[in-house]
């Protein structure tokens, strides 16, 4: 007999709550921190705060594979940083000029290298540990070796506890989420394509194409999951090259869909001639994408989809062949032929990469007979200018903090040095996009919050001497921190302050009666860190929304020029990744571009310029050099010259935009020369099309050539629009520091 009543109902609600991933993450966070502190106190380790700090940082990597990677880098960075901190402090502390210079260089270089792609976490921990050992050993340099040893012990404890908790308690596996997200991605691109095919106006089609155009950001997430998943399972790692190529197929399918910015024209002669074939192809291609997104997809279902797609494409080819033999095709306007060609070219690309995805999935055996070749690791790339500036700022900040600590010996000196480095190194890179814009405002609000917290600590000093109360405070704070940070892509500025606060509270040492002096040192240590870091953040290369937007627009224009000059194949992997990330980064920051510092609508104008530059890069990345082979015949020499002239004019427009940002003046290069080159190119392509028809070239070959040509035309149209958008922007406010 089923049990009814309040108890089963309560248990059901409790079970539903515990199944919430954010609540699970908070519980794991609290458990890991509490266990690490308990073991540190039980083993009578000297600095349990460092074990807790390690848990804080490691738990932000929510996947088992990511934890393993960060743990390795953390212990390597900790050991290297501890040794450097000990050697410099123990041997050079009496020579402050050399000592502080070397400490600043080590911390600055480590922080800057956190911004590059290879082993960033090891560099971050090297800088952090150098700060900790130097600040703790500054007053007694001969004993700084103890801090080196204690730091390694405490970090090792935090690593072990975090690894156990993350691996045993509700483990989150990147390899599983990769497979789920990959299938979800195929379903989403199918949804974008379905929306385009059903669109009745340009706005609806453009909105769906824009969703597909931002898809590369999801590909970056998939590739991160691949990196973490490879550390979780040998079975998964053996299939890594295949999974990488599957993500590339998904990216290329989304890129092809993003070019379909116009709805179907029902009155087009092409659609009249292919009234049955085109809808059949639409159904086949959507069914194939849906099947790729179906967890129940099988070899048989993929084979059926592949055969249906091939039949549908053969039907279109046969219909075009029949239509080409009619007189009506020569009467079609060149513009209509170009619009139709870009659509068929996109569908041809989609079909090609769907077929490749089918082959890749079919190649995955249940048990591999041999290991696949490992994916080539990403080449080393120097950190971007932002992180170089941040590194210099961090080096200056820690030099000043150590000078103040040695000269004035302020209360809370240890938290002062660490807090100064944390706020200076990480604040501008925190999620949200505001950067250093309101550093002084945050300083005032944070100091006021610290004052309130310190008063609460003073009132609760007797309670904090109880292990039960201390553990409850730690668990509750960590749970709340984990719950609130579950969906964050990084550590926000308030989260950084909260992390340092709980570490500082534990540092009060509840094993003994907590004195008034200890609470005062806790307050002043973090308050002074906020003051010093805010001054450095705001006055030395501040990260401001308008400047970060400007740098990304410049970066986008530069990438497009690189594609024009060298071709998309020569584009480094890091720049391809940047193409995916730039739109999201700009969107984060445009919400802060508003009056009174900026004119009304300035954020919208910047967004328009971003859209133009992004679409230029998108069109060029799938088009550049692909038309050359078709026009390489000597009969097409004038066509190729027209193409080169158009490329030169697009490049000239992009260069004028870069010059405008550098000189604070609107683009000097107008659009008249670009429009003339575009008109000439379109005329050449119209004549080229008629020659192809007269020479009985296969219809799909003609369609392919015209599709590439239309993509060039679209890139040129966007370049002309970008000049107009650039001319409407207030460059003085974008290049200035209006908020200060």
Chunked into runs of 10 residues, the chain (740 residues) has average pLDDT values of 53 61 88 89 82 82 80 88 89 88 94 80 88 83 79 88 88 87 91 88 84 77 82 80 87 85 78 84 92 89 90 86 73 77 86 90 63 48 85 94 86 84 82 82 91 84 75 84 74 74 70 73 89 92 91 94 91 78 85 88 92 90 85 78 94 94 84 92 87 79 84 92 92 78
Residue 418 and residue 346 in one domain? no
622: domain range? 545-735
Instruction: Give how far Cα 123 sits from Cα of 81, 156, 333, 578, Å.
Output: 9, 17, 60, 22
pTM of the model: 0.81
- Is residue 698 in a domain? yes
Say what the pLDDT of residue 111 is: 92
- Is residue 652 in a domain? yes
Residue 492 and residue 617 in one domain? no
Q: What does the alpha-carbon distance between residue 188 and residue 622 come to, in Å, rounded to a whole number?
A: 21
Number of folded domains in the chain? 3
> Is the previous residue joined to 596 through a cis bond, with omega within 30 degrees of 0?
yes
Q: What does the alpha-carbon distance between residue 343 and residue 257 come to, in Å, rounded to a whole number?
A: 9
The last residue of one of the domains, among 539, 573, 603, is: 539
Q: What does the alpha-carbon distance between residue 683 and residue 689 come to, in Å, rounded to a whole number?
A: 10
Residue 394 and residue 348 in one domain? no
What tokens does 555 get? 């970066």
CB under 8 Å to 123, separation ≥6 — which residues?
Answer: 77, 109, 110, 111, 113, 114
Residue 460 and residue 528 in one domain? yes
The last residue of one of the domains, among 295, 330, 362, is: 362
The last residue of one of the domains, among 539, 572, 587, is: 539
Residue 29 and residue 156 in one domain? yes
Residue 579 and residue 534 in one domain? no
> What DSSP line would sit under 457-486, residue for residue?
HHHTHHHHTSHHHHHHHHHHHHHHHHHHHT
The number of residues making up the chain comes to: 740
SS3 label, residue 567: coil
- Is residue 373 in a domain? no
CB under 8 Å to 325, separation ≥6 — which residues?
Answer: none
Say what the pLDDT of residue 393 is: 94
Contact yes or no for 416/529 (Cβ under 8 A) = yes
What tokens does 280 get? 């059949």
Closest of 589, 232, 285 to residue 435, by C-alpha: 589
Say what the pLDDT of residue 65 is: 80
Residue 214 and residue 269 in one domain? yes
Say what the pLDDT of residue 369 is: 37
> What DSSP line would sit under 125-183, residue for residue?
HHHHHHHHHHHHHSS-GGGHHHHHHHHHHHHHHHHHHHHHHHHHSS---HHHHHHHHHH
Q: What does the alpha-carbon distance between residue 453 and residue 447 come to, in Å, rounded to a whole number?
A: 10
Distance of CA 441 to the CA centre of its chain: 27
CATH of the domain at 653: 1.20.58
Say what the pLDDT of residue 370 is: 43
- Is residue 481 in a domain? yes
Q: What does the alpha-carbon distance between residue 252 and residue 267 come to, in Å, rounded to a whole number?
A: 30
- Is residue 633 in a domain? yes
Residue 635 and residue 725 in one domain? yes
Contact yes or no for 283/244 (Cβ under 8 A) = no
Say what the pLDDT of residue 18 is: 63
Handedness of CA 555, 557, 563, 569 (dihedral sign): positive
Residue 255 and residue 400 in one domain? no
Say what the pLDDT of residue 67 is: 81
Say what the pLDDT of residue 367 is: 45
Rg value, the chain, Cα: 30
Say what the pLDDT of residue 177 is: 87
Residue 185 and residue 167 in one domain? no
Closest of 279, 277, 303, 278 to residue 291, by C-alpha: 303
Say what the pLDDT of residue 509 is: 60
Residue 559 and residue 525 in one domain? no
- Is residue 371 in a domain? no
Closest of 590, 731, 734 to residue 667, by C-alpha: 731
Say what the pLDDT of residue 389 is: 92
Say what the pLDDT of residue 374 is: 44
**Location of structure tokens 């945050």:** 442
- Is residue 722 in a domain? yes
Residue 463 and residue 508 in one domain? yes
CB under 8 Å to 395, separation ≥6 — which residues?
Answer: 104, 105, 107, 108, 109, 111
- Is residue 380 in a domain? no
């Amino acid at each position: 007999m089923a049990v009814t009543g309040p108890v089963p109902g309560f248990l059901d609600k409790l079970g539903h709550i515990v199944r919430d991933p954010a609540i699970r993450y908070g519980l794991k966070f609290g458990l890991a921190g509490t266990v690490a502190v308990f073991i540190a106190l039980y083993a009578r380790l000297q600095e349990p705060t460092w074990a807790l700090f390690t848990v804080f940082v490691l738990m932000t990597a929510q996947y088992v594979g990511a934890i393993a990677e960060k743990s390795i880098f953390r212990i390597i960075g900790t050991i290297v940083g501890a040794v450097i901190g000990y050697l410099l402090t123990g041997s050079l502390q009496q020579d402050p000029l050399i000592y502080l210079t070397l400490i600043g260089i080590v911390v600055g270089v480590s922080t800057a290298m956190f911004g590059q792609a290879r082993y960033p976490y090891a560099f971050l921990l090297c800088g952090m540990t150098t700060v900790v050992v130097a600040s703790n050993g500054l007053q007694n340099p001969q004993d700084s070796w103890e801090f080196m040893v204690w730091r390694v012990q405490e970090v090792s404890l935090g690593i072990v506890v975090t690894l156990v908790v993350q691996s045993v308690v509700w483990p989150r596996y990147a390899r599983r989420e990769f497979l789920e997200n990959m299938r979800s991605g195929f379903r989403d691109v199918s949804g974008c394509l379905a929306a385009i095919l059903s669109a009745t106006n340009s706005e609806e089609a453009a909105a769906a194409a824009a969703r597909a155009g931002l898809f590369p950001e999801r590909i970056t997430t998939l590739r991160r999951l691949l990196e973490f998943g490879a550390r979780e399972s040998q079975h998964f790692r053996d299939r890594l090259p295949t999974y990488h190529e599957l993500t590339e197929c998904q990216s290329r399918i989304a890129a092809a869909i993003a070019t379909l910015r116009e709805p179907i024209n029902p009155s087009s002669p092409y659609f009249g001639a292919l009234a049955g074939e085109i809808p059949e192809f639409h159904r086949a291609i959507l069914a194939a994408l849906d099947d790729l997104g179906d967890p129940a997809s099988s070899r048989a279902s993929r084979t059926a989809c592949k055969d249906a797609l091939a039949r549908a494409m053969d039907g279109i080819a046969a219909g075009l062949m029949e239509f080409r033999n009619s007189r009506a095709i020569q009467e079609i306007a060149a513009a209509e032929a170009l619009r139709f060609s870009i659509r068929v070219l996109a569908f041809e690309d989609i079909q090609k990469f769907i077929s490749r995805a089918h082959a890749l999935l079919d190649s995955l055996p249940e048990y591999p007979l041999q290991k696949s070749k490992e994916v080539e690791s990403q080449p080393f790339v120097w950190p971007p200018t932002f992180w170089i500036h941040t590194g210099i700022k961090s080096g200056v900040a820690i030099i000043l903090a150590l000078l103040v600590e040695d000269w004035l010996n302020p209360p809370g000196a240890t938290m002062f040095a660490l807090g100064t480095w944390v706020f200076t190194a990480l604040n501008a890179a925190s999620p949200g996009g505001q950067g250093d814009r309101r550093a002084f405002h945050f300083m005032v609000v944070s100091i006021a919050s610290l004052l309130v917290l310190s008063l609460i600590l003073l009132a609760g000093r007797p309670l904090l001497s109880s292990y039960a109360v201390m553990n409850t405070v730690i668990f509750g704070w960590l749970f709340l921190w984990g719950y609130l940070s579950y969906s964050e892509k990084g550590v926000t500025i308030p989260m950084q302050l909260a992390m340092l606060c709980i570490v500082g509270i534990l540092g009060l040492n509840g094993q003994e009666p907590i004195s008034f002096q200890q609470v005062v040192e806790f307050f002043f240590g973090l308050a002074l860190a906020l003051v010093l870091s805010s001054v450095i953040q705001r006055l030395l290369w501040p990260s401001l929304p308008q400047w970060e937007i400007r740098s990304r627009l410049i970066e986008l224009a530069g990438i497009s020029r690189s594609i024009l000059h060298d071709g998309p194949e020569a584009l480094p992997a890091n720049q391809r990744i940047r193409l995916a990330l730039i739109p999201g980064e700009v969107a984060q920051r445009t919400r802060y571009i508003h009056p009174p510092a900026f004119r009304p609508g300035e954020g919208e104008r910047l967004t328009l310029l971003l859209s133009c530059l992004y679409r230029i890069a998108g069109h060029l990345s799938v088009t550049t050099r692909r038309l050359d082979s078709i026009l390489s015949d000597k009969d097409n020499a004038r066509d190729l010259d027209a193409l080169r002239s158009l490329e030169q004019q697009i490049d000239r427009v992009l260069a004028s935009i870069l010059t405008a940002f550098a000189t604070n003046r609107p683009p000097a290069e107008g659009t008249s020369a670009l429009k003339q080159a575009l008109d000439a190119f379109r005329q050449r392509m119209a004549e080229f099309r008629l020659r192809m028809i007269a020479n009985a070239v296969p219809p799909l070959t003609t369609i392919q050539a015209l599709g590439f040509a239309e993509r060039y035309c679209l890139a040129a149209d966007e370049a002309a629009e970008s000049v107009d958008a650039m001319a409407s922007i207030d460059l003085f406010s974008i290049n200035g520091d209006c908020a200060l």
